[in-house]
Structure 1
């Protein structure tokens, strides 16, 4: 096609194409809620009234008893159920739940793909620099999932540091991975897996000698499988405190949430909920977010 009898030049074609690409990019960014070149879609805080009208979208992990989504779509597990109970006191409902991996939770929160994370996410120093955590609602331990009889006699993190031949399965982005790396377990010893059950599959396939994960989750995963044992929590592993993660802009919501959470933790409803999912309701007493935010990792 020509205009005024002249064939368009390469520069003209390039200019048109660049303009089309720019327009497409702007449209795509608008649909995703991001500005061109922006690292996230954080548009600032939402008011509590807005959350009351719109509800809250929550990210969870497929990691019972901490969190999961059932076949009927219900978001459940200790962390989401605590969230639901506290939000109810604020007049807010959970409108939707998304299962995702731990390493995607904080980026997705910043990008506004969900409003909060309720997945038993452990509070630690590096995460406290990226999100706001509620006060701890769950305190628990970690352990090793090993073949029955524990043939490699893995009982501590120090065993993994001392024996460089040991392979340990971990979920990427989790507190457990950070603990092992901090202790001196090398990257070559770590076998990363996609989801909680894949850690046991890695051990069963002999790609890993052990799977380092939360104690209660391991016990639930192996409860019907006699080919695995769960070790006692290693004495050299830290106690983990978990809470709900909020965007750094949601200070109003966090303040209101913490006020109601502290009241809720003093009720029999909280005690019964913790026992239902296998957690010790007494373990959380005296544990604070400020303390947990000093935990390396």
Structure 2
């Protein structure tokens, strides 16, 4: 579960999608060779000319969501849409892709930005650059009703080798468990949130680790027999911003400048808070701080 980019302009499969439309992205395992120098100004000109930026998303509400008409919404895409319009880029197109494919796909120029709630950590910040945070969140466990295994902390999981914990493949939580040296045999990687909940219900896993708000939405929609724990006390709050290629620093810096204007006007809070994320926590946290998170 987590960078600006491409010189592209040719949409996946060669089909030009209308602004705001949905494209299904494939998972990439390799990175294209990156150009030398800062290409951010060229990227800005290309996206202004095209009138649309392509966003890698995960279709994981409230971070990202595809509407019934195929258009993209969610906390991070809506923030990006507002900032990009201030930069002269009129619309966005959502491309659903697995989390583990987002950074390789960005560097391979399959999309222009990552707006998926791809949480910052040390390894990701070594590969791409982020905007200042637009989301700061906590992590929780999904558990069967009554918490029959008595799991309350990550330490509880590590202490009991019989416990199996589900995470999204390639997600922030996957990297966190590796960093915290949770044995691989205890970890079950699932492709999406619904699969994690179904694994709990079927007894294939004992606990599902995901951001608190994501789990609450999943459980409210799908699972009366599942409960969501309070924020896990031994996992620090985490956060995300828009991701860019390292070679697009000019574009990222201009994005941050306009993003600050959005914050100062109060519009950022109006966009982000209806999705359940407090604006103040993001405003008072820096990307530099979040990039120190393990993983």
TM-score (norm 2): 0.85
Tell me which of 240, 243, 257 is aligned to 1:242: 240
Tell me which of 140, 160, 167 is aligned to 1:163: 160
Tell me which of 256, 263, 266 is aligned to 1:265: 263
Q: Given the alignment of the two structures, is residue 127 of structure 1 paired with residue 119 of structure 2, yes or no?
A: no
Equivalent residues of 1:68, 1:99 under 8 A apart: no
Q: Paired residue for 1:192?
A: 189
**1:84-143 CA deviation, whole Å, 9 max, x = no partner?**
011111111334210011100000001111010000111111011111111111100110
Q: Paired residue for 1:40?
A: 32
**1:184-217 CA deviation, whole Å, 9 max, x = no partner?**
3110000110111111011111110010001000
Moved over 4 A (4+): 41-44
Equivalent residues of 2:31, 2:104 under 8 A apart: no
TM-score (norm 1): 0.84
Quote the Cα distance in structure 2 between the aligned partners of 1:144 and 1:219: 10
Q: Given the alignment of the two structures, is residue 231 of structure 1 paired with residue 237 of structure 2, yes or no?
A: no
Deviation at 1:43, TM superposition (A): 4.8
Q: Paired residue for 2:253?
A: 255
Secondary structure, counterpart of 1:129 in structure 2: helix
Structure 1 unmatched runs, 5+: 1-30, 32-37
Q: Paired residue for 2:287?
A: 289
Tell me which of 194, 206, 209 is aligned to 1:209: 206
Quote the Cα distance in structure 2 between the aligned partners of 1:41 and 1:99: 23
Tell me which of 140, 162, 166 is aligned to 2:137: 140
Q: Given the alignment of the two structures, is residue 51 of structure 1 paired with residue 47 of structure 2, yes or no?
A: yes
Secondary structure, counterpart of 1:282 in structure 2: helix
Number of residues paired by the alignment? 261
Quote the Cα distance in structure 1 between the aligned partners of 2:158 and 2:185: 12
Quote the Cα distance in structure 2 between the aligned partners of 1:108 and 1:262: 27
Q: Given the alignment of the two structures, is residue 68 of structure 1 paired with residue 65 of structure 2, yes or no?
A: yes
Q: Paired residue for 1:9?
A: none
Q: Paired residue for 1:12?
A: none
Equivalent residues of 1:56, 1:96 under 8 A apart: yes
Q: Given the alignment of the two structures, is residue 92 of structure 1 paired with residue 89 of structure 2, yes or no?
A: yes
Deviation at 1:41, TM superposition (A): 5.9
Quote the Cα distance in structure 1 between the aligned partners of 2:71 and 2:34: 27
Larger radius of gyration: 1
Q: Paired residue for 1:21?
A: none
CA RMSD of aligned residues (A): 1.6
Deviation at 1:222, TM superposition (A): 0.6
Quote the Cα distance in structure 1 between the aligned partners of 2:204 and 2:265: 45
Quote the Cα distance in structure 2 between the aligned partners of 1:289 and 1:95: 23
Structure 2 unmatched runs, 5+: 1-13, 15-29
Quote the Cα distance in structure 2 between the aligned partners of 1:266 and 1:226: 41
Deviation at 1:272, TM superposition (A): 2.0
